[in-house]
Amino acid sequence: PEIHFGSTSYGMHIHKSSPNTLAAFINICVLWLVKVCLMLTRTHKGLYRSIARTLKFFQTFALLEVRIESTSVIVTGVQVCSRIFMVWFVTNSIRQIQNEESVILFLVVWTMTEITRYSYYTFNLLHHLPYFIKWARYNLFIVLYPLGVAGELLTIYAALPFVRRSGMYSMRLPNKYNVSFDYYYCLIVFMLSYIPLFPQLFFHMLRQRRRVLHGEVIVEKDD
């Protein structure tokens, strides 16, 4: 249907696009904060603490995004849960790694990815999608996704020695629950999970890229 200013249809599109516009704006603010902090301090140390509150709120809020969209619910759910785990149970919990270069790497990648993604959703809902935004959405991920994964894995790897020494989030036997859990090995399993999961996410995006940019008909096996 065509969009008419002042019509109910247009108002509905504005309403639906509002969360995406807000999300894009928040990510732009995060990226701007990263740039300003680097310019003022000329170092990445302390950068995570300066944006931690905004980052934690936004990434947790993203749970509301796991709904039926043009992308797979399973793929979106895995990506969102992975980021929440990285923010709350790795970077936020282990202060010794917050100044690692890998943290800055995945933060910048996340924000750039989300700016293009939410901008794409917003303009697409308004039926006024500039080509450069569509191009960015379905091309930049080819570089950004591997870089983001590299940043996340390097961050977890840097956290392993601290987790092993401190025994954080771990339960040793004997205890009243008669349950044993080692967070150190949990992180290793989490890292290994990238082997099957990342290719699924990446090739899903490649299929979407062929469909959107080249008009190919793609049949998803499990959406």
Highest average pLDDT, of 19-33, 52-66, 73-87, comes from 73-87
**Cα–Cα distance, 121 to 123 (Å, whole number):** 6
pLDDT(28) > 80: no
Q: Give 89-105 pLDDT, tens digit per residue.
A: 999 999 999 999 999 89
Per-position DSSP letters for the chain, written without gaps between them: ----TTSHHHHHHHHHHHHHHHHHHHHHHHHHHHHHHHHHHSSSTTHHHHHHHHHHHHHHHGGGG-SSSSS-HHHHHHHHHHHHHIIIIIITT-GGGTT-HHHHHHHHHHHHHHHHHHHHHHHHHTT---HHHHHHHTTTHHHHHHHHHHHHHHHHHHHHHHHHHH-TT-BPSS-TT---B-HHHHHHHHHHTHHHHHHHHHHHHHHHHHHHHH------S--
Q: Who has greater pLDDT, 172 or 27?
A: 172
152 is catalytic: yes
The predicted pLDDT at position 52 comes to: 84
pLDDT(139) > 70: yes
* Residue 140: φ, ψ to 5°: -65, -30
Q: Give 44-55 pLDDT, tens digit per residue.
A: 677 788 788 878
Which one is catalytic: 145, 157, 169, 194?
Answer: 145
Tokens 């924000």 found at: 111
CA nearest neighbour of 125 among 11, 217, 25, 209: 11
Residue spans per domain, the chain: 8-214
Which one is catalytic: 100, 118, 152, 184?
Answer: 152
